[in-house]
Amino acid sequence: MTTQPTSGRTPKGAWTITFLLFLFMVVNFADKIVVGLAGVPIKTEMGLTQEQFGDLGSSFFLLFAISAIVVGFIVNRVATRWVLLVLAVIWSLAQFPMVGTVSFTTLVICRIILGAGEGPAFSVAAHAIYKWFPDEKRTLPTAILSQGSAFGVILAVPALNWIIVNHSWHHAFGALGIVGLLWVVAWFALGKEGPLVSTVATVADEPRIPYLKLLTSRTFIGCVVATFGAYWALSLGLTWFTSFIIEGLGFSQQQAGFVSILPWIFGATVVLLTGWISQVMLAGGYTTRAARGVLGSVPLIVGGCILALLPQVAPGGLMIALLVVGSGLCGSIYVVCPPMLGEFTPVSQRGAVIAIYGALYTISGLLAPMVMGNVIQHAATPMAGYLSGFTINAAIMAGSGVIGLLLLWPNTERARLTGEAQPAGGTIKGAVSPT
């Protein structure tokens, strides 16, 4: 049995693994963004309607949630190192059919396979990172992991857009397949399992909480609902933002590539600030209700209110600014929810609970692109359709933030679930073993 490090101490090599998993999420989101970035060329070449393109965007999420749940239970018993390796291989191979001439059906099938491979990605990566950091030090590495999404877009969009403009959208998919295989090689050589609970056997005597109690706890429900609203905005950004810049505001494909990275740059700033502020608040004695729950949900409410202003301004720079800031604020919730769930979930159940959380909130990824496509298709003009779709987004985002603000009380959740006396202080000591 592995000797457990002292509570609060970060094992050697933890930040190397964090960096590799950050790159894992970079590849993950580069894979996600390519269809949205190449949306107009794909629609033009394949003769797709707005509804069909919305369905294409949603197809990615068809098996996303199911895969996340299945793999979540698998990582309770199988080393995350090997699960992550298999997931990345699936992503890479799913890209190569698009290099040549491809039918709409084949494109949809490949996106479904890609979604199945990427569904468990964040939850498995978070579970892997938590084997390297004790509870009080998890917010910052979670923020860094989350930033893989933003940097995946920031780094990939200029490169992929150059390939799309100068070659074709087909070659952009091939480039992503090659990059994915390069990560596989790096992880095979350097990836390791964390020493803070290597196997479920090391926590065999830890009390288990029935899954029904965990999944119906107010903090779990609050995390799912709040992140559902945030992911609605993210899904629209992945699928429709570049098309909106071109079809709604009249930018060229080349110009749209540069504009498309702005929400992700702002979102990256929000996520990193949230992670840093949360750690400072926890060190200063704030409860995790404040340092995680309130800190994560309030930006959703503010962001939704900002997005609601879009129909009131003229097309142009101000509209882009409102869209960038409003949607970018949703990033705060991704940083705080996994650590909140980790506070009260036993280690032997944590992988599954985080995976189920991810599976439930990403249902919005299945709905949002499809709803937007339907709204645009039946609107009087494309611009009117886009604005209606973003107004729906605003209402969902603000509403989810309010529900999160009411329900996120992680610092008292463990005691409620187990009947333990609640200790003084911010976090429940021992709520999740640092091992």
DSSP per-residue string spanning 34-95: HHHHTHHHHHHHHT--HHHHHHHHHHTTTTHHHHHHHHHHHTTTS-HHHHHHHHHHHHHHHH
Q: What is the DSSP string of 379-420?
A: SSSHHHHHHHHHHHHHHHHHHHHHHHHHH--HHHHHHHHH-P
128 domain-assigned: yes
Rounded Cα distance between 72 and 51, Å, is 32
pLDDT tens, residue by residue, 146-158: 777 777 778 888 8
321 domain-assigned: yes
More confident residue, 99 or 143: 99
201 domain-assigned: no
Mean pLDDT is highest, among 158-162, 201-205, 278-282, 292-296, for 292-296
Q: How many CA atoms lie within 13 A of 338 on its CB side?
A: 30
Our CA angle for 130, 182, 137, nearest 5°, is: 15
Amino acid at residue number 118:
E
Residue span of the structural domain in which 172 resides: 14-193+210-418
419: how many CB neighbours lie within 10 A of its CB? 7
202 domain-assigned: no
Does residue 1 register a pLDDT over 90? no
435 domain-assigned: no
Rounded Cα distance between 98 and 106, Å, is 8
pLDDT tens, residue by residue, 402-418: 999 999 999 888 788 87
Q: Which of the four pLDDT bands, split at 50, 70 and 90, describes residue 358?
A: confident
With CA atoms as reference, report the closest residue to 397 among 296, 323, 327: 327
433 domain-assigned: no
204 domain-assigned: no
CATH label of the domain that carries residue 261: 1.20.1250.20
The confidence score (pLDDT) of residue 4 equals: 41
Percent of the chain scored above 70 by pLDDT? 92
The confidence score (pLDDT) of residue 8 equals: 60
162: how many CB neighbours lie within 10 A of its CB? 13
**Total domain count, the chain:** 1
Specify the DSSP element, H or E, that contains 320: helix 317-328
428 domain-assigned: no
Does residue 423 register a pLDDT over 60? no
